[in-house]
Amino acid sequence: MKHIITAVFAISALFILTSDCYAGAWSTPAIPTHIEIERGGGFMVHGAFGNAANCTQENKFYVKSDHPQYDKLYATVLAAYMAGKKVRPYIHTCEPVTWHSTTAVTYNIMTRSGALYIFD
């Protein structure tokens, strides 16, 4: 019985420690003020988005070109930009975007597990 209780506690502790690896956060809803398409890598969106993942750069988020919904996300962000509507991305990670800076600088990255809302 003692071994079973120890195993349960060990598994619970492992789950708690690893669950933070996939934690994400919603950015602040904001109107895109600038969109940069980086040659072949993805696109960067500027606006008052805050810093959902506590990266070294705030108020920007990046979508990589290998995102499965890349075209739809770009179309949504562009529509929001043109209409003056807010978007709110769900950010999972910080990563460098070397076209913009060195590897020591990180940006909020919208991953495959993220989401994007458009609203007033």
Residue 1 domain-assigned? no
Q: What is the pLDDT along the chain (120 residues), one digit of tens a residue?
A: 554 444 434 444 444 443 334 468 999 999 999 999 988 899 999 999 999 999 999 999 999 999 999 999 999 999 999 999 999 999 999 999 988 777 889 999 999 999 999 987
Residue 11 domain-assigned? no
**Strand, coil or helix: 58:** coil
Residue 83 domain-assigned? yes
Torsion of CA 6, 10, 15, 16, to 10 degrees: 100
CATH of the domain at 65: 2.40.50.70
Number of domains in the chain: 1
Residue 32 domain-assigned? yes
Tens-place pLDDT, residues 106-119: 999 999 999 999 98
Q: What is the pTM of this model?
A: 0.79
Tens-place pLDDT, residues 19-37: 334 468 999 999 999 999 9
Residue 20 domain-assigned? no
- The range of the structural domain enclosing residue 69 comes to 25-119
Q: For position 120, what pLDDT does the model report?
A: 77
Residue 2 domain-assigned? no
Residue 42 domain-assigned? yes
Cα 102 to Cα 29, 31, 39, 75, distances in angstroms: 27, 27, 17, 28
Residue 16 domain-assigned? no
